[in-house]
Amino acid sequence: MNAKFIDEVRKLGGLSDEDQKLLADMRPAMERQAPAIVAAFYDNLQQNERAYEILNAEPGRVDRLKGHLTHWLYSLVEGNYGDDYFDKRYRIGHRHVEVGLEPRYVIAAMMWCRIKASELMSAEYADDPDAAHRMAALSKAMDLDLNIMLQSYDDKRVEQFLEVTGFSKVLFENMLSGGG
Ligand code: HEM
């Protein structure tokens, strides 16, 4: 299921093998830019009341998250889409459900991150004829990640609903598809 999911989303979204190759040599540039992207990402989030509340619900959480986001940015440019890739993104989605974060915050944060990362990474490729292609590849990779995270949100929330109501999964899926 994981490989099929990634394959399907990559084909539909146009995240090609060529994109994958371009991403794979962007790691040194990402290492240089990640500290600025990460710092700006959390500064921006802290401006939002709900995000601030969640981020500061535990001491040391923001520092821990800075580490998580840095590794996520690195893995984004690895261009390696095995099972591990899917599983990690899927877990990120679950973790956000666990901390009570509504999906719209993740979507908005990704929107913000895409622009910030593109702005800072573009400077690294000022003289590179592939610069625009690289930024598009990065953006597509973020969309792939967002897609996996949202799938996991959806699955986790259905799981919670079934637990609370005692509904069977088959019955629930039949109801959704209008089968009664
Ligand atoms: C581009 C969007 C985002 C990305 C890529 C991202 C990435 C991550 C990652 C990699 C983790 C660690 C998951 C794990 O434990 O395996 C995480 C956890 C978490 N994220 Fe996000 N995140 C995003 C948006 C947000 C937003 C908008 C908030 C707002 C408050 C947030 C708050 C948290 C919290 C509270 C945790 C749990 C931290 C803990 O374990 O103490 N994230 N996120």
Q: What is the mean pLDDT of the chain?
A: 94
| Any ligand 1 atom below 6 A from CB of 131 | no
Which pLDDT does position 179 carry in this prediction? Answer: 63
Regarding predicted confidence, which is higher, 39 or 1? 39
What does the block give as tokens for 28?
Answer: 């040194």
**Cα-to-centroid distance, 23 and ligand 1 (Å):** 23
| Ligand 1 atom nearest residue 71's Cα | 10
Q: Which residues contact 88 (CB under 8 A, 6 or more apart)?
A: 75
Share of residues in the chain with pLDDT > 70 (%): 98
Identify the band that residue 172 occupies on the pLDDT scale cut at 50, 70 and 90.
confident
Which has more confidence, 177 or 26? Answer: 26
pLDDT of residue 36: 98
Residue nearest to atom 17 of ligand 1 (CA): 92
What's residue 82's pLDDT? 86
Residue 151 has pLDDT above 60, yes or no: yes
pLDDT score recorded for residue 1: 61
CATH superfamily, domain 2-153, is Globins (1.10.490.10)
What is the CA(19)–ligand 1 centre distance, in A? 26
Q: How many Å lie between the centroid of ligand 1 and the Cα of residue 143?
A: 16
pLDDT digits (tens, 9 = 90+) for 35-81: 999 999 999 999 999 999 999 999 999 999 999 999 999 999 998 89
Angle formed at CA 50 by CA 100 and CA 61, multiple of 5 degrees: 70
What confidence score (pLDDT) does residue 61 get?
A: 97
Q: Is 150 in the pocket of ligand 1 (CB under 6 A)?
A: no
Helix (H, G, I), strand (E, B) or coil at 160: helix
| Residues in Cβ contact with 80 at an 8 Å cutoff, skipping those fewer than 6 apart | 24
CA of 115 from ligand 1 middle (Å) equals 18
What's the CA gap between 32 and 24, in Å, rounded?
15
Ligand 1 within 6 A of 109 CB?
Answer: yes
pLDDT in tens, 106-122: 999 999 999 999 999 99
* Per-residue tokens: 19: 């994109």
Residue 130 has pLDDT above 90, yes or no: yes
